[in-house]
Structure 1
């Protein structure tokens, strides 16, 4: 196991009826900006709960943070926050709203265009923020990462800032989510875990078992959620799996990959695809392309998660990758680029972008432009 320093300062407030705790979670001295996405929080009652908890408080609302939040929208929020002299942010929504609010929290204390911070990759002189999570997927409610897009240039980059001060997770807020969003959230959570797990064997028994526990949970609950999305215990497990999948708990001291995510971000930037949907396509292609490099871990994953312990090594790897792809299909997601009408021109553009930026991802830092192209060709 590698050396590491671990610190996660976010306070989780989990359970039924916990939104009312906003009344005490945010100190009364703050001038608050509450950020939202579309209007779904008004339909499911979350908005009313938030407003009720913040009664008699000084707050302003900002609406319209879209899926895959864009700098064009976030600039408007930053302007409003500065105008109103906001000194605390509350993100109410899914990962996109929380991601966007993280950039707002940085931009409020920055004198230039916030896109510069995104291109830089990080900024930590931030206005404090809390969250009310309504869509489990990204884990943004308990980490310091975000991903921000620019419509003008069709770019999408990761960005790091401060952790949320607190995050409120009430599983009842997920009951009315569209099934497609739930499916993408499960896929996103699954691949988050895989990016930290599917590297090499023998680094940490504990990290492996924690990761496998989340994977097994997702596989067990996914079909039940499709049948009973208003089951509190199922959605509680889903919500907590998404949070635990990317809050640092399963990555301590082990190598990580993230090539699938970086390729997926480009598919979103170029075609506007939902993030989780891109991962369901790219991840099986990553396994097919890097099957020899990841051979031992694929075999471990296949045996422990799917019970595949028979046949030759190559046969077991084939069956494991097939099972993984079948899982994404069982969620109702597509797993091939040809199914979403994406072809060679996009593959070449992504290869060009990787090469132009001089980037390489994966636990061996070998997923450069050429390898990204090979992975995408294995997704056709």
Structure 2
């Protein structure tokens, strides 16, 4: 049994490094063209090269998404772009459309191809079809159950890998193939500019009764017929592994560095714990504790367990119990003083929790705060990206994340 890959999202170079540092085996990013995240900070060629070096120096991999469904004009320059990605050393490209599979085979036949979840692969014959066309890995549609996945992996050709999402936002549409946003707002979900109109509140109006609104489904919070909960499979690591899925994919190229670090850490520890001794594996509550600290919608197991319908839908608000308030840039062991990059407002004498790749959460208190930018003592760090120093009562390390319980529980 192969140890599965933990595959993390990286919306920019900083998040890429955080994902790797917190235990990801591979990262997926968007380049300057043909990817489904128009609003994220997509990588330039130079940044991709830096990301490749950072990954390869640490024995990790980097994949580039080319997962749009291109119109004719989108294909202009695709050959040179794909050839460039191969030449600079990306480990694979993730595509959804047959045109890009064909271009990859034509201009870079040695480049590994992964098929995006956007292609809606839901059966073993489709897996075999794509593999025979030269696709090395299939990212399954998110609508599949464990039973269906086991059938797929039992018929899977030798040399083919299966990847599946295990954590993150879900879509009301079939693997993200959604036209609602385009229809209502002119923002094409399949070009990365979805307006998330499935999160809106909807009512039914009868033609001859204007301004009389009838709720479709209602609870104490409102009407939510399309607001899917967030996927979270941290409690089902053995089932994921035994199903034959090789790559555990985390959603979230547009999520924060706090999100990336937390989710990667939780799944890394869970997978490592299983492979240390599968027969004595036990789920640890601390992994779920890590995942509940980040901004998220209510968690659900998606379609894996065959449970869907109304149980998978809820209000659109995020739960946000903790904020990332700072990242440690330096720590002086002699003085016990940390240099910190501010991420959210934090006060002198605040007790904060420390998120670190290799250790459980622990708490420190920030005292004797000093504003490095203004060269004055301060009792609050309240400017975006402010650099400040603070004395702490426990040793810290570079890139430790400092988080604090938030008074604002919903966003």
Normalised by the length of structure 1, the TM-score is: 0.28
The structure carrying a bigger helix percent of its residues is 1
Q: Which has the larger radius of gyration?
A: 2
- TM-score normalized by structure 2? 0.27
Q: Which has the higher strand share?
A: 2
